[in-house]
Amino acid sequence: MFIQVNSENIFEAYSFEMYSLTGTLILSGNLQQQELHALNLNSIPSGIYLIRIHTNGVTKQIEKIVKE
Question: How do residues 35-51 score in pLDDT, each as one tens digit?
Answer: 667 788 888 999 999 99
pLDDT at residue 34 in the model: 60
pLDDT at residue 30 in the model: 84
As a whole number of angstroms, the distance between CA 33 and CA 25 comes to 23
pLDDT at residue 35 in the model: 63
pLDDT at residue 52 in the model: 92
The DSSP letter of residue 49 is: E
pLDDT at residue 4 in the model: 57
When the pLDDT of each residue in the chain is averaged and rounded to a whole number, the result is 82
**CA-based nearest residue to 68, from 51, 48, 52, 50:** 48
